[in-house]
Each structure stands twice: as C-alpha cells, then as structure tokens.
Chain A
C-alpha cells in the first residue's frame, strides 16, 4: 500500500536525513557536557582508541555513552508507544504520559521497591537513581522494570476497557488524566513512609533523567524496547486498517482481539520500561508521531514506525543535550525541555483540527 502522498524518493531522503541527524546528535551528546571533549577524541575513544586524557575515557565510557544510549532507547520507545496509542484510541492527543500509562508504571516501580525496601533501603532511594544501583543484580533490575511494565499494562487495560464504552475522545483523555492522578496519589501515599531526603530523590526522578542508567541496567531496558518494537512491527499492517476504525478493520479481516493484546503488550513494555529507568518523560510520545506525519506526509505505519523510532531518538538526545547545556554546572530537568518541544506541537495539533472527535 502506498499510503504516502510523497514519492518514494522523498521518503528515502527524509529517512537518510533522520539517520544522519541521529548520528550527529549522538556524537554531540558524547562530546558536550560539563567537561568538553573534542569531537574527534570522543569518537575515537568510543571506537576503541585511547583518548589523549584518560579522564575523558572514563567520562565517555562510564557516563556519556550509557546516557546517550539510554536517550536513544527511551526516545524511540516513547515515540513508538505514542504512535501506537494514537492509532489504537483514534485520538490525536493520546500518549503514554497524557493517558496515565507512565503513572501506572511509576506506581508499579514504587510498589516493587517498597516491597524490596521492607528489608533494604527506603523506597525513593531505590527509585531514585543511586538506589537503583544499590539494588544491584540484573534480576532486581528486571523485577523493577517488570513491575513498571505491569503497572503500565494495568492502566492501559483500564483505559482500553473504558474506551470501548466511552466514544468521546475528550472524555477518554480526561479519564486517562484521572487514572494518572489516582496512581500519582497512591505513589504519594507510599512516599509518606519515606524520609524527606528520599522524597527529594523521588521528586528529582519525576523530572525525568537519562543520567542514572548504568551498564547493568541498559541490557534490561534494551531488551524491553526491542521486544516492544518487534511487536509494533508485526502490527504495522493492521494498524493501517485501524485508521478506518474498529468496525471497518474487522470487516477487512483484522483479528481485533489479537491486535488489542499485541498493542497493549507493546505499549506497556515500551512506556513501562522507559519510565522505570528514566522517570516519567513527558511529551515525546505525544509529539513525535505528529511531527513524523507532517514530515513524511503519510499515515502509513510502515513508514511512521521507523520514522518515530529515529525522530524520537533524535529529539530525546537533543532534549538531553539542552538539559545539560555546555558550560552549565547544573542540569535542567529533562521534562522541562521535552515540554518546551512538545507543548507547541500539541497546540499545533489542536489548532489544526477543529476538535477531537466528540460524538
């Protein structure tokens, strides 16, 4: 199916530009930071050549490379889950953050860590980035990620169930928001059992950050994201049919129940795992799919899925770069940067469409 208005050549050029942009941003991400490292040295060190200054090697390998890889994985995952949710709910304002999926993941993490913390360190310390490393083993990492995914899936299930009864898009959005508030409240209740220092750590975690993910955690995050992407790839064709709505999709032979389950699993894995390791990152999931649709002038998911992965990763890297502006001692909250990018996109979407479908 050619679902694109733009020729195949233009699509290829746009993809090439996205790949180049991603590579460039990745290198910039390695080179810049509170300690500036020459671009050539940075790339050389990653390629295995020892840098002129051994401190640079340490910074690159222990801090910046995992951080950049995390940014790539998280951005790609959030953008893809946003795309899936927007088509699944036929709602342009759907996204992991706006519909409370990230909050569900947060609750999952909080509960898991609380269960672990009965014996070990307090909840938010474990939630907060140093605490994660304290948990240590790969099994514990997977456990935290797993409970985040389950928390995300539960909220997703709830929203899905409601969406079958409630036709109005704005009602669904508000419900998603309420689910988010509810899980947020539960997390606050859990916080009541923690010290003020731990609460501070948790608050920083909710700002979102790619800084705390270690080499031990990266494989878990990568595995979850890869699995989510694989599921989404299988769904590309039925997602296209879903653009016509559930009834037409069924009449076209789409196995509805199977598709629902796959999309549920995929979005929960993607949004849940990212939230567990990076905190609830706002707006990337909501905004990137719209930017891709505009860039490629298409609704074809076979183009939009790779496009969202690339652009999501790029914007995520760019946001992280801005959040630690070179020369600045303190990092800005990641969510502040993503909101600055994302909110205008949402406003643009709202103004372009007269109103979300309301019937």
Chain B
C-alpha cells in the first residue's frame, strides 16, 4: 500500500485531454441564408487531471457552455478529439460515456412530480440494468451524492416545490450519484447565496481531492474561482484559451486581457476589479492596515487612486489611526505643503491635518 505513490501516478496522467478541439454548432443558417458551421472556440489543447478543480471563466458569449457540453459528449466537436483516460470519448457507447462523465446544466427544469430522492436516483441510470433496479451499492451512492450536495434533508420533498438554490443542490446530487470520473458543471453557483457558494466550491474541491475526480465548472465569480480553483481556464471573447494557476494568470496579466472592458480593469495588486481606470488624484494612505484597506475602498469609489508607498504625486495624505476602540482619520492636503518634502505626512510644515472621527465624515470631506 502506497497511496501517496498511486496518487502521483494518477495525477500525472490527464483524465481528460482535448487536442485541437473546435466547438460550436453545425450547419447554422447565417443571415445570408447559407448554412455553415459556427465555430465558437477553436484550436483548444486542454488537459484535466484527476483530483483537480478547474474553473472555466470568460465573458458572456465566449463559449463556456458550448465547451462544457462538448466535453460532456452532448455536442460533437467541430474539429479535434477528446480523450477520456486515453480513450476516444466520442467512440464510447452512450452508457459507458455516462459512467465516466456527468454534467449539471444551468437550464431550469420542471420534473413532473419527482421527489428529490427519485431525481437523484436517476443519476444511477448508466449503472443499473434494463429495469433500473437499485442495488444496495446504488442506494449508498445516491445517499452519498445527496449528502455531499447538502440535499439529504430534502429527499422526501417534491423537486418542483424547491427554491432555485435547493434545486441546484439536488441537480448536483444527481450528478454526484452518477459517480463520474469527470464532473462538469455549468454555473453551479449561479442561484446560490454567498455562504452556499463558498460551501459548494469547498465541497466540490474536497470531492475532487478526496475521490480523485476531475471537476470542471464554469462561473462568473472570479474572486471565488481564484481562491478555490487549482487551475483557471480563461476563455477570451475572440477565442483562445489561457490556462494556469490563478496566481500565475493574475501576475502575467492574462486575467486583465480577458476581462478588462472600458473603465473596468483587473488590479493584480488587490486581485479585484476596479471601476475607475484613471484616477485624477492620488492619496497616500498609511496607518492601521485594516482601517487603511477599507478606507482605500471608499476612496476608490470616490474616484481617488492610491499612491505608491513613497507617497510620490499624492494630493492628500491620510493616516488612519485606531486608538482606544475608536478610529480616527488625519487628512492633510499636500499640494500646499513644501514641494521638496518627499514624505508630506511626517513633515511638520504646511497646514495642520484635519481629523475625522468616522469614515462617513471623511468621505463627505473627500467629495468636496
């Protein structure tokens, strides 16, 4: 027994591999009346490893769903091929394919009067005989799926009576009951509240790790994806894909390339999107780190930029101070200060700083 070793070998062989993949729709009638294939993305070389959680990101219409559906075998690729554990995925019979991969779609559905348990049990479809009788092992798999998706308590309820978030958990449970080596999810967190989102991501990640499944999900939640994913697949609007560690993609500027639009730009320093691309005035901010962080958020909303650590070019210098359970902000206009002073905050010259006892008061001041 050497679990560490076996995990290494598993991780070295990609579970899913796509070579020269082009996805899109066959024979779409164009406006001119000719029918032709509509390629959404092409020339993709992708690898998905067991035990890995990968988040697929990209602007609306970049082809995330199309790619997911193609990888699931629901759409045939326009070019290239998909290998699943080394075998041609398209050549597998449908049931064999369904034992290897499961998908959770975004489309809403009504499910007759199926109970939650009955719906999740449909995930066992490719594993059961022609009558679909559930063996003990099938029941256990359904239960595990429901529990992992946090839907075990819902099992007696009718699916149609659930909320959107609950429905999504049940659909996830159904996919998990299928026990696929590859789990594909199209925006699984879309209808969930924030704690559920984080929880879903966490459980998907654990699922990938502990059960050695490959999990690929599309999402619009870049922040969450960057924190939870082992890898990101970034789908650029004009086609083309950037893959890598979230941090690498942030550092290389790839995230900005894919998502920056108009005034919205990705800021690698904070790992977040900023709305104001070109602030007119800079502020040198120092003091208590927690206060400073939230003060910076307020200032950015008011249209200010953050100066470098040396404070060069700053029009204002603000020191945030936490003293005796209260917070104070000392703000000084540095434009009228001595031009030669590189550290206007520490300098004694110039007009004295104004002090504010609340962030709201400071915001009102900065707006003027």
B114 within 8 A of A: yes
Report A82 CB to chain B, min CB distance, Å: 14
What is the 8 Å Cβ interface bit string for chain B, positions 78-113, against chain A (1 contact, 0 not)?
A: 000000000000000111111101110101011111
Cβ-Cβ contact count across A and B, 8 Å cutoff: 91
- Contact A5 to B156, CB < 8 A, known contacts A251-B102, A299-B114: yes
A59 within 8 A of B: no
- Contact A1 to B113, CB < 8 A, known contacts A252-B125, A254-B125: no
Candidate in A241, A254, A299, A302 with the most chain B CB atoms within 10 angstroms: A299
The number of chain A residues with a CB under 8 A from chain B is 28
- Assess the B118–A3 pair: CB atoms within 8 A: yes
Q: Which of A1, A3, A234, A297 touches B130 (beta carbons < 8 Å)?
A: A234
- Assess the B118–A2 pair: CB atoms within 8 A: yes
A181 within 8 A of B: no
* Nearest CB in chain A to that of B96: its residue: A253
- Assess the B74–A251 pair: CB atoms within 8 A: yes
* Nearest CB in chain B to that of A253: its residue: B98
- Assess the B122–A252 pair: CB atoms within 8 A: yes
* Nearest CB in chain B to that of A251: its residue: B103
What is the 8 Å Cβ interface bit string for chain A, positions 143-184, against chain B (1 contact, 0 not)?
A: 000000000000000000000000000000000000000000
What is the 8 Å Cβ interface bit string for chain A, positions 291-309, against chain B (1 contact, 0 not)?
A: 0010001111010000000
B355 within 8 A of A: no
Residues 201-238 (chain A) with a chain B CB within 8 angstroms: 234, 236-237
A255 within 8 A of B: yes
- Chain A residues with CB under 8 Å of B134's CB are 1-2
B24 within 8 A of A: no
- Assess the B121–A1 pair: CB atoms within 8 A: yes
Q: How far is the CA of A338 from the CA of B113 in the complex (A)?
A: 25
Report B338 CB to chain A, min CB distance, Å: 68
A245 within 8 A of B: yes
22 A-B contacts (beta carbon < 8 Å): A1-B118, A1-B122, A2-B118, A2-B134, A3-B121, A5-B115, A236-B131, A237-B130, A240-B122, A240-B132, A243-B122, A247-B105, A248-B105, A251-B72, A253-B93, A253-B94, A253-B96, A253-B97, A253-B99, A253-B125, A297-B113, A300-B118
A interface residues, Cβ below 8 angstroms from B = 1-5, 234, 236-237, 240-241, 243-245, 247-248, 250-255, 293, 297-300, 302, 357
Query: What are the nearest 7 A-B pairs in CB distance?
Result: A253-B98, A253-B95, A3-B118, A237-B132, A253-B126, A252-B125, A253-B94
